[in-house]
Each structure stands twice: as structure tokens, then as C-alpha cells.
Amino acid sequence: MRKELWVRSSIVAATAVGVAVVSLSTYGYVFGFDGAPSTAAGASRTGFVSASSTSSSTVAPSSTTHTTPTTIPTTTTTHPVMKEPPAQIMPDVPSNGLGQFSSGAVVRAYEQRLKDLHFDPGPIDGKFDIDLRYAVEAVQKLWGLPRTGRIDEATRGVIAGFKYPTSLVKNPEPNRVEIDLDHQVLVVWTNWQITLITTTSTGSGRRFCGGNDGCQYAVTPPGKFAFQWHKEGWRNGALGMLWNPYYFNGGIAVHGYSSVPVYPASHGCSRIPMHIATYFASLVQKGEPVYVVGTPSHDSSTPPPTTPTTAPVISTTTVPPTPTTQPPTTTTKTTVPHPTTTTHPHTTTT
């Protein structure tokens, strides 16, 4: 009998001890005692506390829990680097330079070099014609050399080690046209690369009367524009004949013209050489941005006349600014179709 009572007492005591151990373990999970599970049990603990969210007790966070800050990665937009042309040794030139009507292998070498630099000197035929002269003038304009149109020693050195100009625009589009009023050059960019550099002649700043807007100043306004519409071939505008004009600002267009001086001389348009205007529209497209950058010429010494007393005579030339000298009169060899008289509702400037 006594033995049976002792066995029962032992069983009860063991059961009580087990219950006590389980209870202490449970409290250890809740209050974060040392030895509480850390990884997998942490998820169970979170679930347990959420299930007991109606309790007024505050659960102390585990000392082993760390917060990792989240950093948003930064992205940088990059575009292809300009591909610079390698330097090239160019032939010597005479002491007075190479000029229009020169010919031979030396001229051919400069024609090829300028073509490789995207200045378009016309046919590679060894003949120093007006097209080559325009290309040389564009080089001289960019580098601040005298705009003589002749390849002298200074121009030879620039052509040999030529590097492209940087963009005039901040955060520009990959395809665009930049018209530099200060240097009187036009640059075509295609997929971040320069594909054409040509001389241009923009608004002279002089007063004139004519066209559809009465008397005004011949100004090419700076700003951002876009190509709007193109007329293939000749267009008989209110102020003269335009070859293949591509309009980007109302009646202001990039177009071919028989005279492209080294200084601003137009009524507001951007004149370019005839042979380049023949295919210019194939380099750009409608909606493509056009940036006109620099200081426009503006003769504001006196206000423009309000009513012309006689039919206006539109001059196509102006006196070049000092110290730039006007190039001698030359004859263009560019062959273009005979002008036709096509009208269009837009105002046209040359």
C-alpha cells in the first residue's frame, strides 16, 4: 500500500515539474529571455504577439534584431562619346596658300580630308571650286581664323589635327540641328555624332520692307524650334527664290542660296550652299529639334520705316563686320533645276 502511494506521488511530482518547465519556457518566449529562439522562432514570436494584440503589455524587441536601411539605386543616363577623327599629315601649301581655281593632287588630298570630317567639299576631283571654298570657310569660322576661303598654313594645321566642336546645348536630343549665330555655322547631329558641318549665313539685322509682314529687321531669333515642313525644289517666296527650303520657325527656313557670305546677310533664314541643300532634307525629319544659339545681328540704330514710298528693293548682301573681309565674287558650279514659281501660304524669308 505504501509502495503504491509513493509511486503515485512520484508521478504527480514529475507532472508538476513538467508543467512548470513548459510554463517558464513559454514566458521566456514572450519576454525575450536569453535562450529564446532567434531565426525561425522569431517568425512564430511575431505571430504570437500579433495574435495577442489586444493585450496591454508591450513586447520588448530582441537585442539581436537589426534594421537594414534601404538605398534606392541611382541611375545615370549616358550617351555615346563623340568619335573624334584621327590626326592626319596634310601636304604643304604654297606661301600664299591654296585658293579657288587651284587644282591637282594636293587639292584632292584636302577635299578627301574635309569629306572625312563631314564638311562636304563637293566632288573629290582635285579642283578647288566654290563647294571646297565653302568647306574651308566653315573650318575657319569654327576656329576663329580669317575667313578667306584659302588654305593657308594656319588652316592647314587645323585641318590636319581637327577636333569636333562640343554641343551648344545642355541635355540635347541625339538627333538635332544646331545653328551657331556667333560662328555662322550649321551642325547636324545624328545619334550623338556630327554628320555635317557647313557654313551658313543668317539674318543680317538690317531693316527691310517686303514679304507678308511689312517692314521689319532681318533677324534669326535664337531658341529651340522644330522642322515643320519641306518644299522640294525651288520655291518662289515673297523675298526671293529658295532652293529646297525646310521651315522650322514660321517663315524661317534652312535653304540653299546662290550666295552664302561669311557674315550674316539673309532676311532671317539660314542659308546653306546649294549642293548641300540638295540633300539636306534627307539628313533630318519633321519634328526634329532645331537649336538657334548665339547673339543675332540687330541694327537698331533707327526704327524701320512704316510705309515704303516705292516698291522695296531687297538687298542680298550686307557690309561684313570688321575685321572680317568679304570674299571676292565667285561663280558657283552647282547645277540645280530651273526655278519654278510655286506659291505657298507661309511667309518666306531668305
Report the candidate in 86, 191, 98, 197 with the shortest Cα–Cα distance to residue 150: 98
CA angle at 296 for the pair 350 and 193, rounded to the nearest 5°: 85
The lowest-confidence range among 33-37, 191-195, 260-264, 266-270 is 33-37
Average pLDDT over residues 173-196: 98
Between CA 141 and CA 128 the distance in angstroms is 19
Q: Of 31-40, 73-82, 209-218, which gets the smallest average pLDDT?
A: 31-40
Confidence class for position 46, pLDDT limits 50, 70, 90? very low
Query: Percent of the chain at pLDDT above 70?
Result: 63
Evaluate the CA torsion angle 289, 295, 297, 299 in order and state its sign: positive
| DSSP codes, 196-209 | EEEE-B-B---EEE
Among the listed residues 346, 314, 162, the one whose alpha carbon sits nearest the alpha carbon of residue 249 = 346
Contacts of 114 (CB under 8 A, 6+ apart): 120, 121, 132, 135, 136, 139, 159
Query: Rounded mean pLDDT of 289-301?
Result: 84
Predicted pLDDT at 74: 52
Q: Is the pLDDT of residue 286 over 90?
A: yes
Q: What does the pLDDT read at residue 123? A: 97
Distance separating alpha carbons of residues 172 and 166, to the nearest angstrom: 12
Alpha helices in the chain (DSSP H): 2-31, 40-51, 105-116, 130-142, 153-160, 274-277
> What are the distances in angstroms from CA 262 to CA 59, 189, 342?
83, 22, 29
Residue 238's pLDDT is: 77
Q: How far apart are CA 96 and CA 113, in angstroms?
A: 20
Phi, psi at residue 290, to the nearest 5°? -125, 120
Q: How many CA atoms lie within 13 A of 250 on its CB side?
A: 10
pLDDT tens string 90-134: 999 999 999 999 999 999 999 999 999 999 999 999 999 999 999
State the residue for C-alpha cell 550623338: 192
pLDDT of 185-235, one tens digit each?
999 999 999 999 999 999 999 998 876 777 889 999 999 999 999 999 999
DSSP 94-129: -TT-B-TT-BSHHHHHHHHHHHHTT---S--SSB--
Supply the pLDDT for residue 43.
Answer: 39
- Interacting residues of 185 by C-beta distance below 8 A, sequence separation 6+: 138, 141, 142, 197, 198, 199, 200
Query: So what's the pLDDT on residue 337?
Result: 47
How high is the pLDDT of residue 240?
A: 82
pTM over 0.75: no
